[in-house]
Amino acid sequence: MTATLAALGAASPGIWARIGASVLQVAAVAAGGPLLLGLMGKVRARAEGRVGPPITQGLRDLRKLMRKEAIRAEHTSAVSGLAPLVLVASGAVGAAVTPLVTTRPAIAGGADVFVVVYLLLMGSVALALGGLDAGTAFGGMGSSRAMTIGAISEPALLVAILALAVQAHSSNLPDIVAASLAHPGWLASPQRLLALVALVVVVIAETGRIPVDNPSTHLELTMIHEAMILEYAGTDLALVTVGEAMRLGLLLGLVANLFFPWGIGGSGGPLAVLVGLVALGAKAAAIATLIALVEVSTAKVRLFRVPELLAGGFVLAVVAVTTGLVAR
């Protein structure tokens, strides 16, 4: 009994360090997501010759929304209230287990690619059900469009990451990142480049960016995401906004560390975690800036062309997996 307690006491510092790193990852994604959105808005404004809102505008809007009352439609069920909570919770769990600032987060053994992808899918389905619950035309239209896009983008996301799993001989995300750090030559391989392009296409679709969706419009013929959340207000809208921002931060962090893993902490030490946090912020900000610059010179594609774009990303992901299997 004494030996068991001694072993637990010796192991507890490492366990608490990993839990602390996961909590830091969740906080970084929750705060960094709105900041990334603000950065993208600022870059777009500057590229168009405007001043634009400050980068911290998203955080200010969230503070304002949290002070307002949550007003729901008269005939909605519990789904409307639960959908924002499920969206935030799925994003938080995904951020906690994904290797963002360290390759040793809490529950690293459960950070499988299938787990993370289906956590993201859970949030998407919850938001779509919330849009349908009010029974409005806009909500049903946006939800059906979102599920149509998700039916193609989610498999493409899964297959694109599986291309890296084939190379690393593991579907565990921390193991994939650790293997990439141990074999830097892999980062320039054909299957990685194909998977990177496919994953970028999926991230743009999952986060509702141009050319798939325009987050700044309320035009009936084009909007997807905004149509699902028109019935939300106050704290409910704040939770939805945080959840969507967390998805953006999580996906950009995933792209950054899967394909550019430099700087991520290989241990749970405070210094390594701090360096990993700074590196994650720099890489995510760089990717967000590139996406914003591309959006300035890109028009939104017509709705019936979006499946073709996503199908192209899925094909690239399949080719990346095939290339990896042939290389083995």
What average pLDDT does the chain have? 87
> Which of 39, 44, 31, 146 lies closest to 92 in space, CA to CA?
31
Please check whether residue 1 lies inside any domain of the structure: no
Mean pLDDT to the nearest integer, 105-125: 88
8 pLDDT higher than 70: no
CB 280 within 8 A of CB 253: yes
Total count of residues recorded for the chain: 328
Average pLDDT over residues 257-278: 87
Per-residue pLDDT, 111:
82
Give the span between the Cα atoms of 294 and 90, in whole angstroms: 29
Task: Supply the pLDDT for residue 6.
Answer: 42
Domain for residue 8, yes or no? no
**291 in any annotated domain:** yes
Work out the pLDDT band at 58, boundaries 50, 70, 90: very high
Write the DSSP string, 78-115. HHHHHHHHHHHHHHHHHHHHS-SSBS--TTGGG-BHHH
What is the per-residue pLDDT for 98? 93
Residue 9: its pLDDT value, please?
Answer: 42
**Is residue 144 in some structural domain?**
yes
The tally of domains found in the chain comes to 1
55 inside domain: yes
Q: What is the mean pLDDT of residues 203-230?
A: 77
CB 258 within 8 A of CB 161: yes
DSSP structure string for 122-144: HHHHHHHHHHHHT--HHHHHHHH
Q: Is residue 90 part of a domain?
A: yes
Confidence at residue 211, expressed as pLDDT on a 0 to 100 scale? 81
DSSP 304: G
Q: H or E stretch including 224?
A: none
pLDDT recorded at residue 306: 86
pLDDT of residue 16: 81
pLDDT tens digits, 283-294: 999 999 999 998
Whether the predicted pLDDT of 221 surpasses 70: no
Domain assignment of residue 258, given as a range: 13-327
Asked if residues 247 and 206 have their Cβ atoms less than 8 Å apart, the reply is yes
Amino acid at residue number 65: L
Secondary structure (3-state) at 222: coil
The model's confidence at residue 218, banded by pLDDT at 50, 70 and 90, is low
Q: Model-level pTM?
A: 0.90
2 within a domain of the structure (yes/no): no
Residue type, 15: I
| Residue 122 predicted with pLDDT over 60 | yes
In this predicted structure, what is the pLDDT of residue 185?
Answer: 85
In a domain, 5, yes or no: no
